[in-house]
Amino acid sequence: MHKFNLSQSLKNNYIVYAFIISSLINSILLLFMTTGLGNIRFIFSDLVILLLICSFSFLVKKRNLYFLIFSIILSLICCINSVYYNNYNDFASVYLFETMFQAFKLPSEAVTSVFQINDFIFIWQILLMIILYRKLKYEKNTMNFKRSISLTFALFVIILLSCNSNDIYRLTHDWNKSYVVRNFGIYSYQVNDIFTVLKKFVCPNCGKEEAITIIDEYFRNKEIKENEYTNIFKDKNILFIHAESVQNMFLNSEINNQVITPNLNKLAKEGLYFSNYYSQESVGTSSDTEFTITNSILPVGTGTVFVNYDHNNYQSMIKSFKQIGYYTFSMHGNICEYWNRNQMYQVIGYDRFYCYNDYDLTDQIGIGLSDKSFFSQSADIINDIHASYDKFYGTLIMLTNHTPFYNDGKVEFDVGNMEGTKMGNYLKLLHYADEAIGEFITKLDNLGILEDTVIVIYGDHDAKFTIKQYEEYLGKDIDFYEYEQLTKVPLIIWTKDQQVQGEITKIMGAYDVMPTLANMFGFEYKYALGHDIFSIDENIVVFPNGNWVTDKVYYNNQLSDYKEYSEVSDEYLKENEEKAKKIVEISNYLIRYNLFKE
């Protein structure tokens, strides 16, 4: 029996050791830059994947080329996930491949703005492997292959035995991405993700019967209560203003002694202002918000609803309004195909989609038609609709305040020491967007449309600033929970006669909008995971990644950590954790299996 000779092994298998060590360094580096280092098990879990790759190298003659190719693959995995996490606080899935093509429908500046220099630090591994590359041919070594496979299997069994029921649950449910990466490593996560996606393609109906039972039981005893707002807006028109990247923290705020959003401040004061409102979006950003608001269901854990699930039989709020005689339409100055809106809007019930083909695009700011021009032209179209139909439901999607927040010097607003920064550029466009909303409201009033119309304004999502950018703006350090508070967006329900007024401080999410408006307008719905905010004592807002928040606590499901706003018991946490898990599961079941009944 030969004794193990370390120096000889290093000499003969230097490329193997270099691949394993460099890959593990990148895995550790990615976690350090994103979620922070967690359970040390992730190193050994990723090592299983790396040993598996190495095992098959002993059956390949061009071993150096084999490792160079895998180094490129693993480095790209780290780069892509770094970019993704910096923008969405989550990790990428292969299910997003189709969604990725949406980026090509945006100007190049909007695409490149999501990248940071440190996202590409992982390519050092590729450079290392190029330096070590030698055009050598190796003999196949089945003995080393068997030894390596045996070691891989043994380590896999040890890791499997270290898992508890919670670990297994999260590995088998694709909305727990951050937890899986933090506890099992990026390479293990990516392999698990591939198998999860393949399972859906190979067996699309696996688990469907169980899902049907769970859903029927969940919605069987749903109770709808009446309150002081019941039917208050019955038969009135409704216009939604989809306010791009507008954040709640900037309302009633100033910079350099200037009010940032005077018009939104006025509308919030004159109407119902929901100051603790969360958008609940995922990677689908604006489209996710549209979906959740109109369906009271969370976006999917992988992929995007508008792109990957655009043939389901959704029972949307839009369809509910149509059933009671409303003409429904949406308006956007961008291309019709972005976020697959041209297809999805037919599915969720819009009668008409006015997009860039219907507008004069001469006045451009940022990535497309300016909001002021968009609103002015839209008001004229709405005036014709108002004259032609008894009742209407419309959504207007703003564009100017879209990342990367550039304006070509067309917007003047003194942001003081924030000049030249991303935050400063954002504040300029936010002030412009506020002016555009004010001018739109005025024009609607002059056209006589506001007499019988309810205006609903919602921020579609936050502006995707980093913690560091918030800290520079606020002049103080913030933690994860403070960061989450800062990402809240406004929700305002306003009428000209100020029929409803007041600030609602209760925790609320996008999935609560449909049930709340159903009570106010008197329409029916079958599926809603949210609540009429005026008929519930304590609400819970659940996010697609399993995090949740109530008036008492914010719970970080990925870290199993929380921050109390008032004292809560372990029983309270456990009860709401189960409730959150159920909501995410049902949401995914409804969408994945298309379980919407007429």
Q: Are 525 and 518 in contact (CB under 8 A)?
A: yes
DSSP bridge pairs for 548: 542, 555
How far is the C-alpha of 57 from the C-alpha of 70, rounded, in Å? 10
pLDDT band at 598 (very low <50, low <70, confident <90, very high): low
The SS3 assignment for 226 reads coil
* 468 to 110, 177, 317: CA distances (angstroms): 21, 24, 38
* 278 to 246, 289, 565: CA distances (angstroms): 12, 10, 17
Q: Are 399 and 333 in contact (CB under 8 A)?
A: yes
Identify the helix (H) or strand (E) that includes residue 64: helix 63-88
* 430 to 94, 442, 485: CA distances (angstroms): 34, 19, 19
How far is the C-alpha of 106 from the C-alpha of 114, rounded, in Å? 12
What is the Cα Rg of the chain in Å?
Answer: 26
pLDDT of residue 1: 46
* Averaged pLDDT for residues 501-523: 96
Give the chain's end-to-end CA distance (angstroms, integer).
72
* Averaged pLDDT for residues 497-521: 96
Identify the helix (H) or strand (E) that includes residue 502: strand 502-504
Kindly report the average pLDDT of the chain as a whole number.
89
The SS3 assignment for 591 reads helix
**What number of other Cβ atoms are within 10 A of residue 125's Cβ?**
24
pLDDT band at 12 (very low <50, low <70, confident <90, very high): low
pLDDT band at 215 (very low <50, low <70, confident <90, very high): very high
Which of residues 569 and 7 earns the better pLDDT score? 569
C-alpha angle 299-305-311 in degrees, rounded to nearest 5? 140
* 177 to 46, 143, 189, 282, 298: CA distances (angstroms): 15, 37, 7, 12, 16
Identify the helix (H) or strand (E) that includes residue 158: helix 142-162
C-alpha angle 564-292-434 in degrees, rounded to nearest 5? 85
pLDDT band at 374 (very low <50, low <70, confident <90, very high): very high
SS3 for 389-438 is CCCEEEEEECCCCCCCCCCCCCCCCCCHHHCCCHHHHHHHHHHHHHHHHH
How far is the C-alpha of 458 from the C-alpha of 446, rounded, in Å? 23
Q: Right CATH number for 223-544 from 3.90.220.20, 3.50.7.10, 3.30.2350.10, 3.40.720.10?
A: 3.40.720.10
How far is the C-alpha of 581 from the C-alpha of 6, rounded, in Å? 49
In terms of residues, how long is the chain?
Answer: 598
- Ranking 2-16, 309-323, 360-374, 578-592 by mean pLDDT, the lowest is 2-16
Could you read off the pLDDT of 174-206 as tens digits, one per residue?
677 888 888 899 999 999 888 888 887 788 888
Q: Which residues make up the CATH 3.40.720.10 domain(s) of the chain?
A: 223-544
pLDDT of residue 26: 94
pLDDT band at 70 (very low <50, low <70, confident <90, very high): very high
Strand 541-542: give its sheet, edge to edge: 541-542, 548-549, 553-556, 561-564
DSSP bridge pairs for 494: 455
Q: What does residue 223 show for φ and ψ, rounded to 5 degrees?
A: -110, 130
Could you read off the pLDDT of 309-364 as tens digits, one per residue?
999 999 999 999 999 999 999 999 999 988 899 999 999 999 999 999 999 999 99
Amino acid at 64: N
Amino acid at 372: K
pLDDT band at 61 (very low <50, low <70, confident <90, very high): confident
**What residues contact 60, with CB distance under 8 A and at least 6 apart?**
66, 138, 140
* Averaged pLDDT for residues 162-182: 80
DSSP bridge pairs for 64: none
Could you read off the pLDDT of 446-483 as tens digits, one per residue?
999 999 999 999 999 999 898 889 999 999 999 999 99
How far is the C-alpha of 302 from the C-alpha of 292, rounded, in Å? 15
